[in-house]
Amino acid sequence: MDIHEYQAKEILKNFGVPVPRGGIAFTPEQAAFRRLELGGGRCVVKAQIHSGGRGAAGGVKLCDTDEDVRDFARHLLGTALVTKQTDAAGKRIDRLWVEEASQIERELYLGFVLDRKSERIMIVASGHGGMEIEDLAEEDPDSLIRMILDPAVGLAEYQARELAFKLGLEGAQVGQMVTVLKACYRAYRDLDAMMVEINPLVVCADGSLVALDAKMSFDTNALFRRGEIAGLRDPGQEDPRESFAADHGLAYVGLDGDIGCIINGAGLAMASMDMIHLAGGAPANFLDIGGGASPERVCQAFRTVLSDPNVSVILVNIFAGINRCDWIARGVIQAYKDIGIGVPVVVRLSGTNVEAGRKLIRDSGLPIIDADTLAAAAEAAVAARPQSIAAE
């Protein structure tokens, strides 16, 4: 789960990271008032969306007067900002962050991420801040400093000092950098974060370090124990399909195809999407219905998949272990009764109670396409698409 810049800054500030003073605004008048609260001097107005590259896309501006702030706020609020990290529709701007301007002398990059190869937290830093990490890795890979942290020890002070020296910091700045690094590490560890990024971390004219921008993302599976973090979720920044799925406890990722997928297990879901591609189709989503799926849960999965208007066929592929094929079959039949499914449905069942499940499907009298294997199911789903979509 992602959060907004201002929310990430507030969290990091509470852990000890220095951030500029600022305030959130939902209207042009409120944005101008925030400038007055900051002393009435030069300020920065930033669009708050879940995307990087806002500055290059026109979502950030230095303002010197109240009228500048109001005009820019009117220009942004209610519109969609398209960046290189969004799709063509962009992200809707419903709030702005107004903060005091900083006198920047130097920009640094700092990120804490999960390195899946080493199964450790990794610090990634660079002396060239203000750029996206992907651009840094491509344009100046030698500038990237990587440091793996031992989970049994955490971030040792000598490691923090070593990183500060590698970034060219001197004197009191080294101590400040140690404070920033340790604060970011604690926030990452204590809040079940998946990423903490400060870009840029700036060296101001007076020599102080300030987090000028911040991003944080969190492990969705840990939100049940992080109520204060779960409350920061902004559904307006999410794919509506994914928001609907999250509200019903389903693991869902929207894609660009037209064949909806209802599958149990992430590995089987990935294999099913590969088979759809091999058969000449394109999946509309990744959906892992999970273990122990009840008929009601299956019905919610159908509602989730059908919330995408592009879906022309649904493929149900279940390999039952914890699940039971008869539960899945009852859920498919219930979905027909409760929702009124208007697209072809292909069902492939295997595993626990498979014969009972397939008998329920056959005896239902519903136009459900039964398949024996995953390959046959994928081919049947592609063949069942409307002629207009197949021609495309």
What secondary structure does DSSP assign to 117-182, as a single string?
A: TTTEEEEEEES--SS-HHHHHHH-GGG-EEEEEBTTTBS-HHHHHHHHHHTT--THHHHHHHHHHH
285 is in an annotated binding site: no
Which of 5, 197, 242, 379 is labelled catalytic? 197
Q: Interior CA angle at 51 toward 49 and 55, to 5°?
A: 85
User: What token pair was written down for 32?
Assistant: 């101008």
199 is in an annotated binding site: yes
310 is in an annotated binding site: no
264 is in an annotated binding site: yes
102 is in an annotated binding site: yes
What secondary structure does DSSP assign to 2-40, as a single string?
A: B--HHHHHHHHHHHT-----EEEESSHHHHHHHHHHTTS
Q: Interior CA angle at 236 toward 231 and 240, to 5°?
A: 110
Which of 109, 185, 188, 252 is labelled catalytic? 109
| Residue 109 designated active-site | yes
46 is in an annotated binding site: yes
Phi, psi of 31 (to 5 degrees): -65, -45
CA distance 198 to 109: 6
If phi > 0 it is left, if psi is from -120 to 50 it is alpha, else beta; for residue 225 that is alpha
- Could you tell me the CA-to-CA distances from 93 to 22, 254, 256 in Å, in that order? 18, 21, 24
CA distance 2 to 24: 18
107 is in an annotated binding site: yes
Indicate the SS3 state at residue 87.
coil
Residue type, 4: H
**Do the Cβ atoms of 180 and 125 come closer than 8 Å?**
no
User: What token pair was written down for 245?
Assistant: 């799925």
**Do the Cβ atoms of 278 and 378 come closer than 8 Å?**
yes
* Residue stretches of the annotated binding site for ATP: 46, 53-55, 99, 102, 107
* Residue stretches of the annotated binding site: 46, 53-55, 99, 102, 107, 199, 213, 264
* Residue stretches of the annotated binding site for Mg(2+): 199, 213
Residues carrying an active site annotation:
109, 197
* Residue stretches of the annotated binding site for substrate: 264
